[in-house]
Protein backbone atom coordinates (compact mmCIF):
# COMPACT_ATOMS: atom_id res chain seq x y z
CA UNK A 1 0.00 0.00 0.00
CA UNK A 2 2.71 2.49 -0.97
CA UNK A 3 0.14 5.07 -2.13
CA UNK A 4 -2.10 4.81 0.91
CA UNK A 5 -3.90 8.12 1.45
CA UNK A 6 -2.57 9.66 -1.78
CA UNK A 7 -4.76 11.29 -4.40
CA UNK A 8 -4.02 11.50 -8.10
CA UNK A 9 -5.21 12.44 -11.57
CA UNK A 10 -4.71 9.88 -14.34
CA UNK A 11 -5.06 10.92 -17.98
CA UNK A 12 -5.12 8.75 -21.10
CA UNK A 13 -6.92 5.51 -20.20
CA UNK A 14 -8.65 4.67 -23.50
CA UNK A 15 -9.09 0.90 -23.16
CA UNK A 16 -7.65 -1.95 -21.13
CA UNK A 17 -4.50 -1.98 -23.28
CA UNK A 18 -3.66 1.63 -22.37
CA UNK A 19 -0.64 2.15 -20.11
CA UNK A 20 -2.76 4.63 -18.11
CA UNK A 21 -5.41 1.94 -17.52
CA UNK A 22 -2.81 -0.28 -15.84
CA UNK A 23 -1.43 2.65 -13.84
CA UNK A 24 -4.95 3.46 -12.59
CA UNK A 25 -5.56 -0.13 -11.48
CA UNK A 26 -2.16 -0.36 -9.80
CA UNK A 27 -2.43 3.01 -8.06
CA UNK A 28 -5.80 2.05 -6.57
CA UNK A 29 -4.47 -1.37 -5.55
CA UNK A 30 -1.70 0.48 -3.68
CA UNK A 31 -4.24 2.53 -1.73
CA UNK A 32 -4.64 5.70 -3.85
CA UNK A 33 -7.81 7.55 -4.65
CA UNK A 34 -7.92 8.69 -8.27
CA UNK A 35 -9.74 10.85 -10.78
CA UNK A 36 -9.78 9.68 -14.40
CA UNK A 37 -9.80 11.96 -17.42
CA UNK A 38 -9.63 11.75 -21.18
CA UNK A 39 -10.59 13.81 -24.22
CA UNK A 40 -14.37 13.97 -24.62
CA UNK A 41 -14.16 12.38 -28.08
CA UNK A 42 -12.05 9.47 -26.80
CA UNK A 43 -14.46 8.85 -23.96
CA UNK A 44 -17.31 8.35 -26.37
CA UNK A 45 -15.32 5.62 -28.17
CA UNK A 46 -13.62 4.09 -25.17
CA UNK A 47 -14.73 2.07 -22.20
CA UNK A 48 -13.36 4.30 -19.46
CA UNK A 49 -16.56 3.94 -17.40
CA UNK A 50 -15.71 0.28 -16.75
CA UNK A 51 -12.40 1.38 -15.27
CA UNK A 52 -14.09 4.17 -13.32
CA UNK A 53 -16.46 1.69 -11.72
CA UNK A 54 -13.65 -0.69 -10.87
CA UNK A 55 -11.53 2.08 -9.37
CA UNK A 56 -14.43 3.92 -7.73
CA UNK A 57 -13.25 7.05 -9.56
CA UNK A 58 -15.10 9.95 -11.14
CA UNK A 59 -14.41 10.66 -14.81
CA UNK A 60 -13.86 14.31 -15.69
CA UNK A 61 -13.66 14.94 -19.45
CA UNK A 62 -10.86 17.27 -20.56
CA UNK A 63 -9.20 17.96 -23.87
CA UNK A 64 -5.60 18.33 -22.70
CA UNK A 65 -4.98 21.11 -25.23
CA UNK A 66 -7.72 23.29 -23.70
CA UNK A 67 -6.72 25.46 -20.74
CA UNK A 68 -10.38 25.87 -19.84
CA UNK A 69 -10.87 22.09 -19.69
CA UNK A 70 -7.69 21.63 -17.67
CA UNK A 71 -8.72 24.30 -15.20
CA UNK A 72 -12.06 22.59 -14.78
CA UNK A 73 -10.28 19.24 -14.33
CA UNK A 74 -8.01 20.53 -11.57
CA UNK A 75 -10.80 22.43 -9.79
CA UNK A 76 -13.20 19.48 -9.91
CA UNK A 77 -10.49 17.06 -8.79
CA UNK A 78 -9.65 19.24 -5.80
CA UNK A 79 -13.36 19.48 -4.93
CA UNK A 80 -13.66 15.72 -5.17
CA UNK A 81 -10.60 15.05 -3.01
CA UNK A 82 -11.31 17.92 -0.64
CA UNK A 83 -7.79 19.24 -1.21
CA UNK A 84 -4.65 19.09 -3.29
CA UNK A 85 -3.39 16.31 -5.52
CA UNK A 86 -0.34 14.13 -4.74
CA UNK A 87 0.35 12.74 -8.20
CA UNK A 88 -0.49 13.21 -11.87
CA UNK A 89 0.09 10.90 -14.85
CA UNK A 90 0.33 12.49 -18.31
CA UNK A 91 -0.26 9.60 -20.73
CA UNK A 92 -1.28 11.43 -23.89
CA UNK A 93 0.09 11.16 -27.39
CA UNK A 94 -1.15 11.51 -30.95
CA UNK A 95 0.44 12.48 -34.26
CA UNK A 96 -1.75 13.82 -37.04
CA UNK A 97 0.94 13.35 -39.71
CA UNK A 98 1.50 9.71 -38.65
CA UNK A 99 -2.23 9.08 -38.67
CA UNK A 100 -2.50 10.51 -42.15
CA UNK A 101 0.55 8.61 -43.38
CA UNK A 102 2.55 11.72 -44.31
CA UNK A 103 6.23 11.11 -45.01
CA UNK A 104 8.72 12.86 -42.66
CA UNK A 105 10.04 14.79 -45.66
CA UNK A 106 6.55 16.04 -46.56
CA UNK A 107 5.01 17.02 -43.22
CA UNK A 108 2.00 19.27 -42.91
CA UNK A 109 2.96 22.00 -40.42
CA UNK A 110 -0.53 22.73 -39.19
CA UNK A 111 -0.89 19.08 -38.30
CA UNK A 112 2.57 19.16 -36.71
CA UNK A 113 1.46 21.99 -34.43
CA UNK A 114 -1.59 19.98 -33.41
CA UNK A 115 0.67 17.00 -32.71
CA UNK A 116 2.98 19.07 -30.50
CA UNK A 117 0.02 20.62 -28.72
CA UNK A 118 -1.60 17.27 -27.90
CA UNK A 119 1.55 15.27 -27.18
CA UNK A 120 3.87 17.79 -25.48
CA UNK A 121 2.52 21.30 -24.88
CA UNK A 122 -0.42 19.71 -23.03
CA UNK A 123 2.15 18.61 -20.42
CA UNK A 124 3.22 22.20 -19.84
CA UNK A 125 -0.41 23.34 -19.86
CA UNK A 126 -1.28 20.78 -17.23
CA UNK A 127 1.69 21.72 -15.05
CA UNK A 128 0.97 25.44 -15.42
CA UNK A 129 -2.70 24.93 -14.55
CA UNK A 130 -1.76 22.94 -11.44
CA UNK A 131 0.77 25.65 -10.54
CA UNK A 132 -1.68 28.54 -10.91
CA UNK A 133 -4.44 26.80 -8.96
CA UNK A 134 -1.94 25.53 -6.37
CA UNK A 135 -3.22 22.05 -7.11
CA UNK A 136 -0.16 19.98 -6.10
CA UNK A 137 0.64 19.01 -2.54
CA UNK A 138 4.23 19.49 -1.27
CA UNK A 139 6.43 16.53 -2.32
CA UNK A 140 3.93 15.58 -5.02
CA UNK A 141 4.96 13.79 -8.21
CA UNK A 142 4.14 14.38 -11.89
CA UNK A 143 5.06 11.76 -14.51
CA UNK A 144 4.83 11.96 -18.31
CA UNK A 145 5.34 9.01 -20.66
CA UNK A 146 8.05 9.26 -23.30
CA UNK A 147 9.93 7.20 -25.85
CA UNK A 148 13.61 6.83 -26.82
CA UNK A 149 12.94 8.36 -30.25
CA UNK A 150 13.56 11.64 -28.39
CA UNK A 151 17.28 10.71 -28.39
CA UNK A 152 17.75 8.27 -31.28
CA UNK A 153 16.33 8.01 -34.79
CA UNK A 154 13.37 5.70 -35.34
CA UNK A 155 12.24 6.80 -38.82
CA UNK A 156 8.60 5.72 -38.66
CA UNK A 157 8.05 7.55 -35.36
CA UNK A 158 8.15 10.76 -37.41
CA UNK A 159 7.24 14.02 -35.65
CA UNK A 160 6.46 12.13 -32.44
CA UNK A 161 10.25 12.08 -31.91
CA UNK A 162 10.29 15.88 -31.61
CA UNK A 163 7.12 15.77 -29.47
CA UNK A 164 8.88 13.51 -26.99
CA UNK A 165 12.04 15.66 -27.00
CA UNK A 166 9.84 18.64 -26.13
CA UNK A 167 7.96 16.68 -23.48
CA UNK A 168 11.21 15.63 -21.77
CA UNK A 169 12.51 19.19 -21.87
CA UNK A 170 9.32 20.50 -20.26
CA UNK A 171 9.78 17.96 -17.45
CA UNK A 172 13.28 19.30 -16.77
CA UNK A 173 12.38 22.98 -16.95
CA UNK A 174 9.14 22.78 -14.98
CA UNK A 175 10.83 20.40 -12.58
CA UNK A 176 13.18 23.23 -11.63
CA UNK A 177 10.34 25.65 -10.86
CA UNK A 178 8.08 23.14 -9.09
CA UNK A 179 10.97 21.64 -7.15
CA UNK A 180 12.18 25.02 -5.92
CA UNK A 181 8.73 26.29 -5.02
CA UNK A 182 7.01 23.22 -3.58
CA UNK A 183 9.32 20.19 -3.60
CA UNK A 184 7.16 18.75 -6.38
CA UNK A 185 9.05 16.39 -8.70
CA UNK A 186 8.55 16.14 -12.45
CA UNK A 187 9.91 13.22 -14.49
CA UNK A 188 9.37 11.36 -17.74
CA UNK A 189 9.42 7.58 -18.09
CA UNK A 190 10.79 6.36 -21.42
CA UNK A 191 8.87 3.15 -21.99
CA UNK A 192 9.47 0.13 -24.27
CA UNK A 193 7.22 -0.31 -27.31
CA UNK A 194 3.87 -1.44 -25.91
CA UNK A 195 0.86 -2.95 -27.71
CA UNK A 196 -1.67 -0.13 -27.29
CA UNK A 197 -3.85 1.91 -29.65
CA UNK A 198 -1.30 4.75 -29.85
CA UNK A 199 1.65 2.33 -30.19
CA UNK A 200 0.13 0.30 -32.96
CA UNK A 201 -0.63 3.47 -34.92
CA UNK A 202 3.06 3.62 -35.88
CA UNK A 203 3.95 1.93 -39.20
CA UNK A 204 5.76 -1.42 -38.85
CA UNK A 205 5.04 -1.44 -35.10
CA UNK A 206 4.77 -5.22 -34.75
CA UNK A 207 8.13 -5.86 -36.44
CA UNK A 208 9.71 -3.14 -34.38
CA UNK A 209 8.15 -4.43 -31.18
CA UNK A 210 9.80 -7.83 -31.83
CA UNK A 211 13.14 -6.20 -32.69
CA UNK A 212 13.17 -4.19 -29.45
CA UNK A 213 12.14 -7.28 -27.51
CA UNK A 214 15.15 -9.20 -28.85
CA UNK A 215 17.55 -6.30 -28.46
CA UNK A 216 16.68 -5.75 -24.78
CA UNK A 217 18.39 -8.17 -22.37
CA UNK A 218 15.24 -8.24 -20.22
CA UNK A 219 12.82 -8.05 -23.16
CA UNK A 220 10.29 -5.26 -23.63
CA UNK A 221 8.79 -3.85 -20.45
CA UNK A 222 5.04 -4.46 -20.38
CA UNK A 223 2.33 -1.89 -19.61
CA UNK A 224 1.83 -3.61 -16.24
CA UNK A 225 5.52 -3.22 -15.40
CA UNK A 226 5.35 0.42 -16.47
CA UNK A 227 2.44 0.85 -14.06
CA UNK A 228 4.57 -0.56 -11.22
CA UNK A 229 7.32 1.91 -12.07
CA UNK A 230 4.96 4.89 -12.24
CA UNK A 231 3.42 3.95 -8.90
CA UNK A 232 6.90 3.84 -7.37
CA UNK A 233 7.55 7.32 -8.77
CA UNK A 234 4.30 8.58 -7.22
CA UNK A 235 5.27 7.12 -3.86
CA UNK A 236 7.35 8.60 -1.03
CA UNK A 237 10.19 6.18 -1.86
CA UNK A 238 11.37 8.40 -4.73
CA UNK A 239 11.14 11.86 -3.20
CA UNK A 240 14.49 13.09 -4.52
CA UNK A 241 14.13 11.91 -8.10
CA UNK A 242 13.24 14.85 -10.31
CA UNK A 243 13.93 16.43 -13.73
CA UNK A 244 14.91 13.00 -15.08
CA UNK A 245 14.08 11.01 -18.17
CA UNK A 246 14.02 7.47 -16.78
CA UNK A 247 14.39 4.53 -19.15
CA UNK A 248 12.01 1.70 -18.47
CA UNK A 249 12.94 -0.50 -21.38
CA UNK A 250 14.56 -3.78 -20.35
CA UNK A 251 18.00 -2.37 -21.12
CA UNK A 252 17.31 -1.37 -24.75
CA UNK A 253 18.71 2.16 -24.41
CA UNK A 254 22.18 0.95 -23.41
CA UNK A 255 22.54 -1.76 -26.06
CA UNK A 256 24.61 -1.33 -29.22
CA UNK A 257 24.32 -4.77 -30.77
CA UNK A 258 22.74 -7.95 -29.49
CA UNK A 259 23.78 -11.23 -31.16
CA UNK A 260 20.19 -12.45 -30.67
CA UNK A 261 18.97 -9.84 -33.17
CA UNK A 262 21.23 -10.96 -36.00
CA UNK A 263 20.92 -14.66 -35.26
CA UNK A 264 24.48 -15.31 -33.99
Ligand X SMILES: NC(=O)c1ccc[n+]([C@@H]2O[C@H](COP(=O)([O-])OP(=O)(O)OC[C@H]3O[C@@H](n4cnc5c(N)ncnc54)[C@H](O)[C@@H]3O)[C@@H](O)[C@H]2O)c1
Q: Site size for ligand X, by CB under 6 A? A: 27
- What is the DSSP-derived secondary structure letter of residue 63? -
Query: Between residues 171 and 198, which has the closer beta carbon with respect to ligand X?
Result: 198
Would residue 56 be called left, alpha or beta, if left means φ above 0 and alpha means ψ between -120 and 50 degrees?
A: left
> Which secondary structure element, helix H or strand E, spans residue 88, and what is its range?
strand 85-90
| Dihedral of alpha carbons 232, 223, 76, 244, sign | positive
Residue 65 as a binder of ligand X (CB under 6 A): the answer is yes
Residue 197 as a binder of ligand X (CB under 6 A): the answer is yes
Residue 198 as a binder of ligand X (CB under 6 A): the answer is yes
Kindly give, in sequence order, each residue whose CB lies less than 8 Å from that of residue 228, ignoring residues fewer than 6 positions away.
Answer: 26
**From start to end of 130-217, where are the E strands?**
136-146, 185-191
Rounded to a whole number of angstroms, the minimum distance from the CB of residue 70 to ligand X is 9
Residue 42 as a binder of ligand X (CB under 6 A): the answer is yes
DSSP-derived secondary structure for 110-153: HHHHHHHIIIIIHHHHHHHHHHHTT-EEEEEEEEEEE-GGGTS-
As a whole number of angstroms, the distance between CA 222 and CA 38 comes to 22
- Using CB under 6 A, which of 33, 38, 115, 244 touches ligand X? 38
> Do the strands 33-37 and 85-90 form a parallel or antiparallel pair, or are they unpaired?
unpaired
Rounded to a whole number of angstroms, the minimum distance from the CB of residue 134 to ligand X is 23
Residue 14 as a binder of ligand X (CB under 6 A): the answer is yes
Residue 245 as a binder of ligand X (CB under 6 A): the answer is no
Residue 169 as a binder of ligand X (CB under 6 A): the answer is no
Rounded to a whole number of angstroms, the minimum distance from the CB of residue 46 to ligand X is 7
Rounded to a whole number of angstroms, the minimum distance from the CB of residue 39 to ligand X is 4
For 188, phi then psi, to 5°, come to: -120, 145
Scan residues 104-163 and list those touching ligand X (CB under 6 A).
Answer: 118, 145-147
Rounded to a whole number of angstroms, the minimum distance from the CB of residue 11 to ligand X is 6
Residue 227 as a binder of ligand X (CB under 6 A): the answer is no
The residue sitting closest to ligand X, measured at its beta carbon, is 199
Scan residues 88-107 and list those touching ligand X (CB under 6 A).
Answer: 91-94
Report the interface residues with ligand X, using CB under 6 A: 11-12, 14, 18-20, 38-39, 42, 63-65, 91-94, 118, 145-147, 191, 193-194, 196-199
Amino acid sequence: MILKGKKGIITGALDDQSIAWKVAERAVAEGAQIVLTNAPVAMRMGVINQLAEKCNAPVIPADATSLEDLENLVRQSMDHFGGQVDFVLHSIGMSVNVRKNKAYTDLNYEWMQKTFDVSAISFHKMLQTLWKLDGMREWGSVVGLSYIAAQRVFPDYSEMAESKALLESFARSFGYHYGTAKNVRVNTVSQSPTMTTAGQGVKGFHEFFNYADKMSPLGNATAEACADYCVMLFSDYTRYITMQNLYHDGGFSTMGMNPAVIGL
